Structure formats: C-alpha cells, structure tokens
C-alpha cells in the first residue's frame, strides 16, 4: 500500500467557514499577530489571548468539514494516509481521518502554562464547557492555557512530521502559503521518488526543482481533480 501524506493549511478549513489569518479580511487584520499568537502576547495579556481562543472554539462548533476533508479520509481505503496539518481545528478528525499530526496544536485542548507539552497536563475541552477562564488551573497548578503552538515556541511535532514526509510515496500540499516555518520546509524532506502535488487557487512559491504539480483550485475541487486524474 502506497504512503500518501497530506500537508494542509488554512485554505483547507476556509471552505468550511473558518476565518483565516493571512487573507484579506482575515483575523490578523482584526488582531495583531503578536497580541494573540505569540508567547510574548500571552504573557502580556493572558485574558485577551484566552478569550480569543474561546471565541475560535465557539466558531468551530458552527462549521462542518468540507468535501475536501471527507475525500482525504476516504483515501484511507486505498492508501496508507497521514495528515500533517497546520490547522488547529478538528475538522480532519470529524471527517474521519485516523492519523493526524497537528503541528500548531489543537484548539479543543488546553494545557499548562508552565509545561505546555507535558502530556499529563493536556486535557480535551468538552463541547458543553469549552471556555477557559483566567482562574482555571492545569494539573500542575499553573494557569490553564490553549494547547496552541504560538510564535516564539518550539514545534514539538515537526520531527514526527519529517519522518512521515521522508517515507511518502506521494505528498499533497493543500491550502498553505508555504510561508510559515518549520512546516514550509517539509517539502525538502521528500525522497527522490516522491510525487508532489500542490492544491491551491493562488500562486504559491516553492522550489521548482522538486517537480511540483500545481492544481490551481480550491481544496474540494482540487481534491476531486487529484483523485480523478492523478491517483
């Protein structure tokens, strides 16, 4: 069974109605990135950051996976599939994908402010009680915070992601600008026989030497095209 690895970004979830950060009208225009997506911003105003992610969770409950999410999950019948995602939502899970690596954390989880990657402190927030409050404590007694990898923090799941990419027969990149590292560097870890497909309606800069096939469509239409013509 061939190994098929997906790398998904904001364009994947945008079709479900999730607000993106970088596009025109995106969240960065409403909130400065340093205020809500950096460890410095969290230390400066934890209440602002905690409430920002509370809002994101409420938004997430109102949306469903797009057709592209479901098409990825269905490919598990024919391929050994791994999804590496830069997204913090749980739409891949809801669509049925089984093996998912979240590079930037998970919105529906919370953790310790002191040791954010301590597995003993990571909890899943129930949908009927998913807000974090400033006085809520993690298992180690520190303030409970969103389980998100912010700018200024290490990306602990990048090593498992690299291992998946290194052994991929096919790599499919969907809806990412390839501007955010270390995720953007994953393409350079493909082996020489790996076929690489990029699904994005926009022009995306990448290394021409990698032989990338660009399917210039949105996530769902692009996935249909990929399946019909190339898989």
What are the φ/ψ torsions at residue 168 (nearest 5 degrees)? Answer: -75, 140
Q: For residue 135, what are its two tokens?
A: 């006085």
| Distance separating the N- and C-terminal Cα atoms of the chain | 13
Instruction: In whole angstroms, give the CA distance from residue 55 to residue 184.
Output: 27
Catalytic residues: 104
Smallest CA-to-CA distance from 21 within 181, 206, 177 is with 177
Contacts of 138 (CB under 8 A, 6+ apart): 110, 111, 112, 113, 114, 121, 123, 144, 145
Instruction: In whole angstroms, give the CA distance from residue 176 to residue 60.
Output: 19
Q: How far is CA 5 from CA 56, 80, 103, 165, 194, in A?
A: 27, 8, 14, 7, 10
Q: For residue 37, what are its two tokens?
A: 């997506």
């Amino acid at each position: 069974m061939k190994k098929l690895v997906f790398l998904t970004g904001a364009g994947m979830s945008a079709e479900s109605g999730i607000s993106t950060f970088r596009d025109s009208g995106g969240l960065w225009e409403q909130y400065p990135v340093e205020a809500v997506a950096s460890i410095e911003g969290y230390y400066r105003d934890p209440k602002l950051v905690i409430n920002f992610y509370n809002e994101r969770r409420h938004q997430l409950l109102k949306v469903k996976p797009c057709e592209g999410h479901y098409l990825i999950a269905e490919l598990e019948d024919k391929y050994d599939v791994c999804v590496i995602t830069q997204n913090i939502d749980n739409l891949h899970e809801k669509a049925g994908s089984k093996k998912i690596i979240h590079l930037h954390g998970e919105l529906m989880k919370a953790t310790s402010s002191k040791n954010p990657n301590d597995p003993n402190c990571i909890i899943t927030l129930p949908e009927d009680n998913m807000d974090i409050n400033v006085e809520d404590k993690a298992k180690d007694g520190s303030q409970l915070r969103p389980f998100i990898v912010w700018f200024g923090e290490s990306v602990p799941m990048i090593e498992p992601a690299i291992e998946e990419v290194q052994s991929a027969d096919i790599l499919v990149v969907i809806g990412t600008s390839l501007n955010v590292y270390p995720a953007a560097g994953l393409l350079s870890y493909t082996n020489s026989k790996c076929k690489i497909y990029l699904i994005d309606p926009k022009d995306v800069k990448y290394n021409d030497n990698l032989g990338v096939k660009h399917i210039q469509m949105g996530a769902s239409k692009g996935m249909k095209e990929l399946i019909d013509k190339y898989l």
